[in-house]
Amino acid sequence: MPVSPKDRKSILLSNLRRDILSLALEPGVDLDEVNLSEEYGLSRTPLRDAFRELAGEGYLTMHKNRGARVAEMSHRSLRDFFLAAPMIYSSVTQLAAENATNAQLNELKEAQAAFKSALRTGDARDRTLANNRFHAVTGEMAGNVYLQPSLNRLLIDHARISMTFYQPRNSQMAENVSLASAQHDGIIHAIENGEGARAAQLALDHWELSRGQIELFVMPTALGAPLGAAPGARTA
Per-residue pLDDT of the chain in tens (236 residues, 90 and over written 9): 678 888 999 999 999 999 999 999 999 999 999 999 999 999 999 999 999 999 999 999 998 777 899 999 888 888 899 899 999 999 999 999 999 999 999 999 999 999 999 988 878 889 899 999 999 999 999 999 999 999 999 999 999 988 766 655 555 666 778 899 999 999 999 999 999 999 999 999 999 887 876 676 555 444 443 444 444 555 44
- Whether residues 80 and 52 share a domain: the answer is no
Residue 167 DSSP label: S
* Residues of the domain holding 187: 75-223
pTM recorded for the entire structure: 0.84
- Whether residues 89 and 45 share a domain: the answer is no
Cβ-contact 95, 143 below 8 angstroms:
yes
- Whether residues 165 and 57 share a domain: the answer is no
Q: Considering 44, 70, 96, which residue would you say is the last residue of a domain?
A: 70
Comparing CA positions, the residue from 161, 164, 154 lying closest to residue 81 is: 154
- Whether residues 43 and 140 share a domain: the answer is no
What was the pLDDT predicted at 71? 94
Q: Considering 35, 70, 105, which residue would you say is the last residue of a domain?
A: 70
b/e code 70-93 from CB counts within 10 Å (16+ = b): bbebeeeebbebbebbbbbbbbbb
Is there a domain that residue 164 lies in?
yes
Query: In sequence order, what are the beta bridge partners of 69?
Result: 30, 61
Is there a domain that residue 236 lies in?
no
What was the pLDDT predicted at 228? 45
What was the pLDDT predicted at 209? 85
Number of compact structural domains in the chain: 2
- Whether residues 133 and 35 share a domain: the answer is no
Instruction: Give the helix/strand (H/E) hosting 148.
Output: helix 147-162
Is there a domain that residue 103 lies in?
yes
Cβ-contact 215, 228 below 8 angstroms:
yes
- Whether residues 119 and 154 share a domain: the answer is yes
Is there a domain that residue 35 lies in?
yes
Cα–Cα distance for residue pair 15/67, rounded to 1 Å:
18
Is there a domain that residue 233 lies in?
no
Is there a domain that residue 234 lies in?
no
Is there a domain that residue 85 lies in?
yes
Comparing CA positions, the residue from 90, 115, 93 lying closest to residue 104 is: 93
- Whether residues 34 and 124 share a domain: the answer is no
CATH of the domain at 132: 1.20.120.530
Cα–Cα distance for residue pair 215/211, rounded to 1 Å:
6
Is there a domain that residue 235 lies in?
no
Q: Considering 41, 70, 99, which residue would you say is the last residue of a domain?
A: 70
